[in-house]
Amino acid sequence: MSKIDLKVNGRSLSVESEPATPLLYILRNEVGLEGPKFGCGLGQCGACTVLINGAAVRSCITPVSAVKGEITTLEGLAPQGKLHPLQQAWIDEQVPQCGFCQNGQILNAKVLLDKTPHPTNAQIRQAMNDTLCRCMSYYRVQTAIKRASKAMAAGSPVAEEGVVA
């Protein structure tokens, strides 16, 4: 067991863990965060996605000892208690069905919009290609990303009504 220092959602903390323990286990079991989910355990489905220094990372295959920098989870997107425009767009567009993949979908969408504020449908599909959804809500995801893009460009936490892809 080693003492490992982490910065999660703006909060510094220390955990006692084996260095090879997956970051996902630390976030869920030690820190108590429920955004990242255990899906496949192989880094293929995207349910466990977190952001490390703004990059999407699969926490189920990332050893906690390898983490260097700021970890942001779904819970940390809007730390002041308000919803991030992506979270609001997900609600407005009724994206979730079972909701299991939404953590990965939203965090991958955040990375996309940080790099490409006004993505095309093709860019959205490409960026979201690695996050699997069993419910097949991909078109709603695409519409929600477009809505969030417009809201973020306007500086508003809530997108305008009737925005379609």
CATH of the domain at 111: 1.10.150.120
Task: Find the domain containing 116 and state its range.
Answer: 85-154
Residue 67 is assigned to a structural domain of this protein: yes
Nearest to 154 by CA among 83, 77, 54, 85: 85
Residue 57 is assigned to a structural domain of this protein: yes
Same domain, 6 and 65: yes
Same domain, 98 and 69: no
Find the mean pLDDT for residues 14-33: 96
Round the average pLDDT of the chain to a whole number and report it.
90
DSSP string over 111-133:
HHHHH-SS--HHHHHHHHTTS--
pLDDT score recorded for residue 135: 80
Q: Which of 26, 47, 76 is the last residue of a domain?
A: 76
Q: Where are the beta strands (DSSP E) in the chain?
A: 2-8, 11-17, 49-52, 55-58, 70-72
Task: Give the C-alpha separation, 128 to 28, whole Å.
Answer: 24
Residue 161's pLDDT band, with cuts at 50, 70 and 90, is very low
Nearest to 71 by CA among 91, 87, 89, 56: 56
Same domain, 102 and 136: yes
**Residues 2, 18 contacting (CB under 8 angstroms):** yes
Residue-wise pLDDT for 103-151, tens only, equals: 999 999 999 999 999 999 999 999 999 888 888 788 899 999 999 999 9
Same domain, 69 and 89: no
**Residues 12, 67 contacting (CB under 8 angstroms):** no
Residue 115 is assigned to a structural domain of this protein: yes
Q: Which of 31, 55, 76 is the last residue of a domain?
A: 76
The whole-model pTM stands at 0.88
Nearest to 130 by CA among 99, 107, 97: 107
Residue 7's pLDDT band, with cuts at 50, 70 and 90, is very high
pLDDT > 90 fraction of the chain, expressed in percent and rounded? 79
Going 9 to 71 to 94 to 99, the CA torsion angle's sign is negative
Q: Which of 76, 108, 135 is the last residue of a domain?
A: 76
